[in-house]
Each structure stands twice: as structure tokens, then as C-alpha cells.
Amino acid sequence: MKKVVISSKEANQRVDKYVKKFLNEAPLSFIYKLFRKKDVKINGHWVKENYILNEGEELTIYVTDEQFEVFNKPKEIEKVTLNHQIVYEDENILIVNKPRGLLVHGDEGEKKLTLSNQVINYLYFKGEYDPKNDHGFTPAPAHRLDRNTSGLVVFAKNLISLQELEDLFKEKDEITKEYKALVVGKFTGERTIDAPLLKDEKTGQVKISKEGKNAVTIVKFLGKYGDFSLVNVQILTGRTHQIRVHLASIGYPVVGDSKYGDFKVNKEIKDKYKFENQFLTAYKLTFKSLKGHLSYLSGKSFEVTLPENEEKLLKQLSK
């Protein structure tokens, strides 16, 4: 049998989810057979799958040494370096300025070189995370940015922080995420775009459709740069490609957007200014009135400047 004392990082989750992470190579049938046979106990008492773990409790799992060796495979630490700007860090969260071109999570084409792996590697060598001992939780991002969008990404160092952050980003009532985008055309004033979005799972393409999920975007004028406009964008919903699709739908596509943009203008910008990236940056994050574990972040705002190549393009367009 194996005994584990639940830490603050691992508390506040269902016991079956913890056991799945602890025995991460075990089939689900094996996991739930343990519960049926009453081979999972807390402080000596059998518990059901939906029991919520508390800090300091002793979890006992009745498995043999041979089963444990086969089913417990700690996550390997990738030898990658976190050399991006850390905007803020405390014992619960880490806010990183993600560069354009880097995935937050791995996909079929790239699993190692991701921001998540870099953060895990950073916390491991800092002594705040050890996959051999921290069985029930792995530091993780609370939200995502597209590969070609740069800017702020928030990571949680423990489970309760991740749960609260995910709720914040889902509900969006007490957190504000703002972007800066350079768009084609002379945008003025302020506009709210309320148009449902539908994603084609086969192609990954997103379009406006009555059959889609509701999506609301607020766009405000920031500055004029020749035939282009710099705008501030706030999303009230978090749909895939929301900003890019919404801006393109009203005739102001994002400069450099290879999927929904103006391809002719993109080529002209590339040829004349050597700029071929998507001009979209998540530059500001504001916590409003929070409750619970992360209440101390209430009223705090975090902001980054635009990437160097975007600042350079604005200066070139100003001349």
C-alpha cells in the first residue's frame, strides 16, 4: 500500500482525480476498481470517488509495489529555459509575457517546446515543484493565447489558485483582459461587436453563425497610423479566434493575420517593412474585486509594452 499526506497544492479536488494523477499510467478500470473494493481510504476510512480532499489528510491506496512501479510514472522535466519576462510572481501565481510563435500547450506538432513546459522547468529548478513528490497537481495556465498572439499568460502554482483563476476567466465579471491590435483601415470611436461564433473542428476555421456560441468584443480607437488604426480590444467572452474574426467581420482585419486578414495588405506590409507577424498583443490584465484564496489580487493591474517589432512598425507607419 501507498500512503500520502495531502499538501496545500493538492487539496480541494476529488479523490478520484488525485488517484488518477498519482497512478497516471493506470487504466480507468483499475482506478475505479480500487474504489469499488474500498482500497482507497482517508485517515483510515473508506471514501467514495467524489470525496473532496483536505490539506493534511492521509490518503492510503492499497496497491502492490509492483502495481505502483508500473502505474506511477512521474512527469519528465523537459530541459528548456524560461527566458521570457516574468511580470509578476508570488506563492500562488506566475504571470509571464509570452512571445509570439510559442504555444502555451503542446499540440500534435509540438509537445516539448511550450510555455507550459518552460514554466514547469523553471519551478522545478526553483524548488517549488517536483513531479516525484507533487503527485496530485502540476502547475498549469489558467487560460490560453494563440501561438501567434503575444502577451500575458497566468499560471497557477497550486490547485485552489487554478480553480479560482479558471472560474475568473470563464465568468469574466471580475477580470479584464485587454489587447492592442493594429487593423487595416481608419477605425474611429468605440464599437461593440456582438456576433456568435462557430468553429469548424475539421479545418480549425471560425465564422460568424447563428448556430455558434455568443461572443462579445469591445473595440476602442487608440491611434491613427496612415491607413491603419491601433485599437484597444476587450473580450467579454473567450471564443477561439474571437478578436480576429470579429474585427475582420466589420471590415478592420488584424494586420498580419494569415487566416482572416487582408492577404494583399499583409504582403505589402511584409515587402515594405519586413513585418509578417500577426499584430495582436494581450497587453493588460486587471483583477477587480476578488473573493477567496486570491482576494489579495483585488484591484491589481499588470501591463506589458508591445513587442519590439510591433513598436518598430508603428514608428515606420507614422513617418
> Residues with catalytic annotation?
146
The strand pairing partners of 232, in sequence order, are: 180, 220
Question: d(Cα 43, Cα 205) in Å, to the nearest integer?
Answer: 51
In terms of C-beta density within 10 A (0-12 exposed, 13-18 middle, 19 or more buried), how is residue 299 classed? Answer: exposed
Question: d(Cα 20, Cα 47) in Å, to the nearest integer?
Answer: 15
Give the chain as a 3 state SS string: CEEEECCCCCCCCEHHHHHHHHCCCCCHHHHHHHHHCCCEEECCEECCCCCECCCCCEEEECCCHHHHHHHCCCCCCCCCCCCCCEEEECCCEEEEEECCCCECCCCCCCCCCEHHHHHHHHHHHHCCCCCCCCCCCCCEECCCCCCCCEEEEEEECCHHHHHHHHHHHHHCCCEEEEEEEEEECCCCCEEEEECCEEECCCCCCEEECCCCECCEEEEEEEEEECCEEEEEEEECCCCCCHHHHHHHHCCCCECCCCCCCCHHHHHHHHHHHCCCCCCEEEEEEEECCCCHHHHHHCCCEEECCCCHHHHHHHHHHHC
Is residue 266 within 8 A of residue 255, CB to CB? The reply is: yes
CA 147 to chain centre: 11
Is residue 275 within 8 A of residue 143, CB to CB? The reply is: no
